[in-house]
Structure 1
Amino acid sequence: MIWKAILVAVLAVGVLAEYELTDAQRQQMRELLRQTCKKNGNEDKADAVEATVKNFAECVKTLFNPDTIKQEIEAAKPNGELDEVFKKYCAKSPQLKTCIHTLTTGVTPCLDAKVRDHIAYVDNSTDSLIDFLCYRDGDRIAMFIAEHGPECMQTKTSDIRECANKMREGISSLDDAKSLTLEQQCGKFDELASCVVKALEGCESDTPSNMVQSLFNYIKKGSPCKK
């Protein structure tokens, strides 16, 4: 399903995002996890799955420190050495892929049987996404940063959020999403892509919108919508 391709993109953004959960939110997530495991006949695996998620977070932290990366980027900008920064971090992509594969394997016991059958697809898709971002040692990321891509994204946050809201129109539950035909799913994906790219076209540089368009095209190429 194309929803898995969308999930891959969301996960990629989530790894780079900075957020904090309240104790209440953590508890809600634990309860949801336990209910999901119980629904799929593996309630006794809930603690192990929770530990897997925590280990994944720690695994990523050992590879990337957001504060350090920001400092290195700012120091590299004046000297035009962004490519060296991302070359260093893209060299860690094999370790990142291992972190992700360990996560997907660890959470598998609590997933729906149909979803378990697509774990290999998720692994392959995330690997491909990392390869896309680290093409030529991270040249794409370096260009995105140099052309003020993050700043562009930040100014268009509300517009991008509205794009996501439009995509969810008519979908109030997971069952609603599952009931969509492939054609409808692909239509939703194209709608989201076009909306986000159009929002970014309002930025001073064309690079952010072109880069995001390429990313959406890359994700679609690896999905059933490629046809």
Structure 2
Amino acid sequence: MSRFAGCTRWVYNQGLAWNEERRAADPAFHLSYSKLCTELLVWKEQNPWLKKTHSQVLQQSLKDLMGGFQKFLKGLSAFPKKHKKFVTTDSFRFPQGFKIDEGRRQIYLPSIGWVKYKRSRFIQGKAKNVTVSRQADGWYVSIQTEYEMEPPKHAGDSVGIDMGCVRFCTLSDGTFFEPCGALKKQLKKLAWMQRRLARMQKFGKNWRKQKPRLQGFISISPMSVVISSKRSR
């Protein structure tokens, strides 16, 4: 999966750089998805390791790039930026070819195979695409579905919820909940981990083990996940 995410990031950055080169040579050049797909074939011949990644995954990366350009031209977002390792979330998407076995809690990803997953909810409707992304504590799969939904009917005592900073949340009836103070509780442990790393020999064996834990990329319960997920637990 790391290879898929890396190839996806490389193709996205390559498409962005290729567009800048063409625009510099010809200001009247207009980028299109078909032109990017044509260049993708050239990149595969120049870099055979790209062929090990499913073609649909790479094509979806180019579609994301085109979507970024279209949003920029409409004034909805900034100009697309280069995706950086450990900064941009690693992810890739399958528009088709995947299979889901809810009974066995397994999902089939083309060129990867059957993978077990922990189900957070049952799937409703027809699955349209699957996105695999890496968070600090592991890999997550998001399944986009399509189904008919009836307009919600609110009955009984309904209240509005306002999430805040001073207070965790305030209800429309005046009830409020104090913040859990997740950041303050975890900062002490985070500072201890940073001091421990500072005392280690740089690039030593223990240093290489401690640094990923601090960054939150390898540890089973990384600090970044603990702090960020407190409000949702």
User: So what's the TM-score if we normalise by structure 2?
Assistant: 0.25
Instruction: Choose 1 or 2 for highest CA Rg.
Output: 2
Which structure is higher in strand share?
Answer: 2
More helix by share: 1
TM-score, normalisation: structure 1: 0.25
Structure possessing the higher relative contact order (Cα contacts under 8 Å, 6 or more residues apart): 1
